[in-house]
Amino acid sequence: MNFLENIFNALATIVANKLRSGLTMLGIIIGVSSVIVMIAIGEGAQRGVTSRIEEMGTNLLIVTPGNSSQTNVRGSAGGGSNTDALTNDDVAVLEALDGIAAVSPEKSGRKQAIYGSNNVNTTITGVYPTYESVRNFHIEYGQFITKENNNEFARVAVLGQDVVADLFDDANPIGKDIRIENNIFTVVGVMEEKEGQGFNSGGNVIFIPFTTAQMRVHGSRSVDSIYLSVTDADKMDNMTDEVQFALLTAHQISDPTIADFSVLNQADTLETLNEVTAIFTLLLGGIAGISLLVGGIGVMNIMLVSVTERTHEIGIRKAIGAKEHDILWQFLTESTLLSLAGGLIGIFVSFAVVAILTNKTALEASVTMDSILLAFLFAATVGIFFGAYPAYKAGKLNPIEALRFE
């Protein structure tokens, strides 16, 4: 009996017992599709996180006031969590560093902006012209805050899309005057649309010159945060150290553990988040893998029943010359085919589930070739592994006892 015939005969048996075969496959179908879907959700989450972070700007270093490593220790040398720790002088120091492409300080606060009878409570952020390139957030039309605007403490504003919607009902706001605190600002540009990050919608913001923000709106000479883009992406770690050292020197602090600022490396953040989502994916996949294992036990169960049910047939086959391995292959082929068919159907089901998930929910799931291969191979292994014992048992049956079995 050759290989193809074995498969043909096994298929005939599977088709002859439709309900039982279907129920057996169901276990594998659920197992395989849940493994693929769970991994797809994990992968989707990972991609989402990565793209959000990359959207924020690559090669990014972020300097913030306060010491992230010892928030509970009362500050020294200017105060550990002193939000005034960063100054315009620090910005100048960082601008002078080699290997830094651009420096973008920010000064933010929530204020009310008014146009006519409309008003909106939004984030007013003072920025340098470098903001566009460093934060990878660009102008849609009009123009961005310029160097001259900063030099002149100009009262000009660039609006995010949400603000345009709230204040101007989506009409073109260029040239219009809006009021923030007691200052009149002329709108010069509108930002492109951007997906929100966390709780902040990317469009709910008004950009004004950094100097204006410090002097006229937020009334403080301090800097909220400094974003730096590094020239060479391979030198992120190096530049993190250099920025740290330059600022420690400027602040006259010798012990890095009591620094009154922190330097955050975007690449590190990305790496950490990727590690977290990878563990998350593994966890989801692992849980789904258990259901595949249970499905495999279902296959074994059914194959054992099948061997018992067909003991008489096995006896007949042995009487007319079937050898142990003939019988063994007959049953092993059957269980493997059942599992493979279940695996294939499971793959189709998982595509359908992922399509529904991405359309109907906020989840971003993407099926990966790896997960398909993994789940399918696992299903095949399950079929062979859990089919092996029943098949072996069938092959070893004593011919006369099998023949007498009714």
Partner 1 sequence: MISLHNITKTYQLGVQQLTVLKGVSLEIKAGEFVAIMGQSGSGKSTLMNIIGMLDVPTNGQYIFDRQNVEHLTSNAQAEIRGRKIGFVFQSYNLLPRMSAVKQVAVPLSYQGVSHAVRLQRAAVALRAVGLDDRMQNRPNELSGGQQQRVSIARAMVTDPAIILADEPTGALDSKTGKEIMEIFTELNKQGKTIILITHEQEIADYARRIIQISDGNIVSSGHHL
Q: Smallest gap, in angstroms, from Cβ of residue 8 to partner 1?
A: 10
**Distance of closest approach, residue 24 Cβ to partner 1, in angstroms:** 19
Nearest residue to 168 (alpha-carbon basis) of 140, 190, 148: 190
Nearer residue to partner 1 within complex by CB, 291 or 306: 306
- Indicate the residue among 84 and 309 with the shorter CB distance to partner 1: 309
By beta-carbon proximity to partner 1, the closer residue of 150 and 333 is: 333
Q: For residue 154, what is the DSSP state? A: -
Shortest Å, Cβ 16 to partner 1: 6
**CA–CA separation, 161 vs 383, rounded Å?**
56
Rounded to whole angstroms, how far apart are CA atoms 34 and 236?
39
| 61 token code pair | 């270093």
Instruction: Output 211 or 330, the one with its CB closest to partner 1.
Output: 330
**What's the rounded Cα separation, in Å, for the pair 193 and 162?**
9
| Least distance in angstroms from the C-beta of 44 to partner 1 | 47
Instruction: Compare residues 172 and 398 and give the one whose CB is closer to partner 1.
Output: 398
For helices 324-360 and 369-396, angle between their N-to-C axes, nearest 10 degrees: 150
279/273 Cα distance (integer angstroms): 10
Q: Which of 176, 160, 181 is nearest to 110 (CA)?
A: 181
In the complex with partner 1, the residue whose CB is nearer, 255 or 406, is: 406
Token pair in block for residue 24: 């057996």
CA Rg value for the chain? 33
Residues within the interface to partner 1 (CB under 8 A)? 1, 5, 16, 312-313, 315-326, 398-400, 403
* CA trace torsion 121, 125, 131, 134 (10° rounding): -80
Which residue number, 221 or 325, has a Cβ lying nearer to partner 1? 325
Q: If residue 131 lies in a helix (H) or strand (E), which one and from where to where? A: helix 131-134
Question: CB 348: neighbour CB atoms within 10 A?
Answer: 12
In the complex with partner 1, which residue's Cβ is closer, 292 or 402?
A: 402
Residue 21 Cβ vs partner 1, minimum distance, rounded to whole Å: 15
- 57 neighbors 136 (Cβ within 8 angstroms): yes
Cβ within 8 Å of residue 404, ≥6 positions away: 315
Shortest approach of partner 1 to residue 304 CB, angstroms? 20
